[in-house]
Amino acid sequence: MQRKKHYSFWLFLLLLLSSTAIYLLQQTEYHVPRIINNYYNDLTALPLVLSVCLWSVRKIKANPKLQLTFFQCTAMALLFGWFFEIYLPERNLRYTADIIDGILYMIGAFLFYGWQRMNSLKKED
């Protein structure tokens, strides 16, 4: 019997499709509102990446209740911030350092952590 898809899956799919759509619009040089063009994908990056990480670890460990810790989510946000806002801009002209992007990575990681915790509490009820 197939399990009903959890609403977290649908949220993940919505974030993935919207981020992909924005990226494709940017590649075609379609005018996207500036705030969305510059910041939406930075905000959604960590919830998407952490969701894939969590799903992978749950499969590898065969533990569907496993959760990422606050430290793991924060460490991933700091790693993304360092890599995309410090390391890459020094080595490639395509990338620019922007402190707001780093803040959005952190916000995205915190949103993922909160969402994950909220879902685990609902499953326990």
* Alpha carbons 105 and 15: distance in angstroms, whole number: 15
Mean pLDDT of 99-117: 96
User: CA nearest 41: which of 72, 4, 84?
Assistant: 84
Q: Name the phi and psi angles at 2, rounded to 5.
A: -85, 135
- What mean pLDDT comes out for the span 23-42? 93
% pLDDT > 70, the chain: 92
**Closest CA relative to residue 50, chosen from 88, 81, 14, 12:** 12
CB proximity list for 122: less than 8 A, separation 6 or greater: none
N- to C-terminal Cα separation, the chain: 23
pTM score > 0.75 for this model? yes
pLDDT for the residue numbered 6: 76
Round to whole Å and give the CA distance between 1 and 51.
Answer: 24
Least confident interval from 75-84, 92-101, 103-112: 92-101
